[in-house]
Amino acid sequence: MNAREIAFKVLSDIEKNKNYSNMSINKHFKELEIKDQDRGFTTELIYGVIENRNYLDYVMNKLSKMKAEKMQMHVRIFLEMGIYQILFLDSVSDYAAVNETVNLVNGFDKKSSGFVNAILRNVIRQKETIAKVDITDNIMYLSTKYSYKPWMIKNWVEKFGQEFTEDLLDANNEKPSIYIRVNTLKTTREELMSKLSDMNIKCFKISTLEEAIRVENLKNIENNKLFKDGLFTVQDISSMIVGKIVNPKENSRVLDICSAPGGKTTHLATIMNNTGHIVSRDIFEHKIKLINATANRLGLTNIEAQCFDASVLDNDNIDKFDYVLADVPCSGLGIIRRKPEIKYKEKADLKELPSIQSKILKNASKYVKIDGVLVYSTCTIQDVENIDIINAFLKENDNFKLVPIDAVNVDVDNQDKGYLKIYPHIHGMDGFFIAKLIRVR
Ligand SMILES: C[S@@+](CC[C@H](N)C(=O)[O-])C[C@H]1O[C@@H](n2cnc3c(N)ncnc32)[C@H](O)[C@@H]1O
């Protein structure tokens, strides 16, 4: 199967089955045995189309009487793929973009190929004029140009201002770097970098985190021998910072109440040098095996994975833990670079989150011993899911207080106050919120 065909299959799967892009890509790449040289282009095409869908449909609508939202799904996706290649990919000639797309349509639905061919040729002919977004309303202009639901742009412009929002939108369209976390139980950063370099993988040390490496050209990770041997885990810097802030001592008792697939849990277990005991919970049974698989691969034996709903109070574990991490479910608006489909979430879909987050935080606090640490984190930049949750919690729980964060030097404006607000365009990493509290009595 060629790269464009696979991209079409993945895009259809994401749309039909509401799957996350990264999961659908992994699943299809595994099942379809894609050639190594096709992985990059296929991934770029999939992410490019999702990232720019509103804009691509806007361009399409300028040329077609039948509007994008009325088209059959497959015809629209073929057109989005073709227009994306013409307007965004310098590496693909206009001729190839049209011909390859039309060939694909022919094999799928012959009667639509003339229509697709005509639209794509018109895109090429009128490139200069149709590529421009001619919308005067600021919110609609930005939500078309950058492809977002208008409510998100409106929310950010009101909250952060125009310049901040545009910088954020630009950063969200950038390709995120890949970072790996060294399994310090099995190797050192230097040794791992040298082994990766032998595989022609470019490595760069991250000065602020001693276990972090930025890598380039690391493909087909699950089949990489060093990965299979458990020498590293793929994890963004922001997520590693959460582990650094919890920073559990050896032999302590830790509870991670929303822990699948286990990125932060395995980091905590490593920081503890595989001593003590970590109870790693998640509400989904099928995700528990992901935690166990990663722990096994990394050679960690101090993790006990359990299926448990964090919104239900577990009376058996009150006051039992030295450290509790609540890495709660959230809107994900800080990780749009990695999951661009988040741009199209409806406001209503996210309405319930703050009350779930508050409930989970409240329960999490009950498991913390006196003098114990409670860390709350999200991968979103929305105050309603972040600092507002913490402030409301502190109002009702004066036995907890925020404590200055000194494990990292990231958000100098806030970390002395006990929390970090991380933004992709300011800090060059996933957007996160992390608060550190201690139980004082
Ligand atoms: C942000 S993710 C956690 C990521 C994880 N800490 C890591 O670093 O790999 C949030 C997790 O919370 C889980 N979750 C959602 N609702 C939950 C609940 N009520 N109780 C426990 N886990 C829940 C989700 O299944 C998801 O795996």
Helix 36-51, helix 3-17: angle, nearest 10: 40
Q: Which atom of ligand 1 is nearest to the CA of 260?
A: 27
Say which CATH number the domain at 53 has: 1.10.940.10
217 and 255 co-located in one domain: no
Structural domain includes residue 147: no
CA-closest residue to ligand 1 atom 5: 259
Structural domain includes residue 165: no
261 and 216 co-located in one domain: no
Structural domain includes residue 63: yes
87 and 128 co-located in one domain: yes
> Is the Cβ–Cβ distance between 195 and 186 less than 8 Å?
no
The confidence score (pLDDT) of residue 20 equals 86
Say which CATH number the domain at 210 has: 3.30.70.1170
The confidence score (pLDDT) of residue 368 equals 98
Q: Which atom of ligand 1 is nearest to the CA of 262?
A: 9
Domain of residue 105, residue span: 3-132
Q: What does 337-350 look like in DSSP terms, one character per residue?
A: TT-GGGGG--GGGG
The confidence score (pLDDT) of residue 424 equals 97
295 and 185 co-located in one domain: no
Residues 27, 31, 37, 39: what is their CA dihedral angle, to the nearest 10 degrees?
-20
412 and 266 co-located in one domain: yes
The confidence score (pLDDT) of residue 169 equals 98
pLDDT in tens, the chain (441 residues): 889 999 999 999 999 998 888 889 988 988 887 887 788 899 999 999 999 999 999 999 999 999 999 999 999 999 999 999 999 999 999 999 999 999 999 998 999 999 999 999 999 999 999 999 999 999 999 999 999 999 999 999 999 999 999 999 999 999 999 999 999 999 999 999 999 999 999 999 999 899 999 999 998 888 899 999 999 999 999 999 999 999 999 999 999 999 999 999 999 999 999 999 999 999 999 999 999 999 999 999 999 999 999 999 999 999 999 999 999 999 999 999 999 999 999 999 999 999 999 999 999 999 999 999 999 999 999 999 999 999 999 999 999 999 999 999 998 899 999 999 999 999 999 999 999 999 999
ipTM above 0.95, yes or no: yes
The confidence score (pLDDT) of residue 252 equals 98
Three-state SS across 381-429?
A: CCHHHCHHHHHHHHHHCCCEEECCCCCCCCCCCCHHHCEEEECHHHHCC
Structural domain includes residue 158: no
Write out the catalytic residue numbers. 379
221 and 242 co-located in one domain: no
284 and 429 co-located in one domain: yes
Distance CA(99)–CA(87), nearest Å, equals 15
| Alpha carbon distance, N-terminus to C-terminus of the chain | 62
Q: Which atom of ligand 1 is nearest to the CA of 378?
A: 1
How far is ligand 1, taken at its centre, from the CA of residue 263, in Å? Answer: 11
242 and 218 co-located in one domain: no
In the DSSP assignment, the letter for residue 178 is: E
Distance CA(104)–CA(91), nearest Å, equals 19
The confidence score (pLDDT) of residue 4 equals 94
The confidence score (pLDDT) of residue 36 equals 75
188 and 270 co-located in one domain: no
Structural domain includes residue 264: yes
C-beta of 332 in contact with ligand 1 (< 6 A):
no
Structural domain includes residue 269: yes
Distance CA(344)–CA(172), nearest Å, equals 14
314 and 408 co-located in one domain: yes
279 and 422 co-located in one domain: yes
C-beta of 329 in contact with ligand 1 (< 6 A):
yes
363 and 274 co-located in one domain: yes
Domain count, the chain: 3
Structural domain includes residue 148: no
CA-closest residue to ligand 1 atom 10: 329
Three-state SS across 229-267?
A: CCCEEECCHHHHHHHHHHCCCCCCEEEECCCCCCHHHHH
Structural domain includes residue 300: yes
State the number of CA atoms in the 13 A half-sphere of 109 facing the CB.
12
C-beta of 264 in contact with ligand 1 (< 6 A):
yes
Q: Among 73, 107, 132, give the residue marking a domain's end.
A: 132
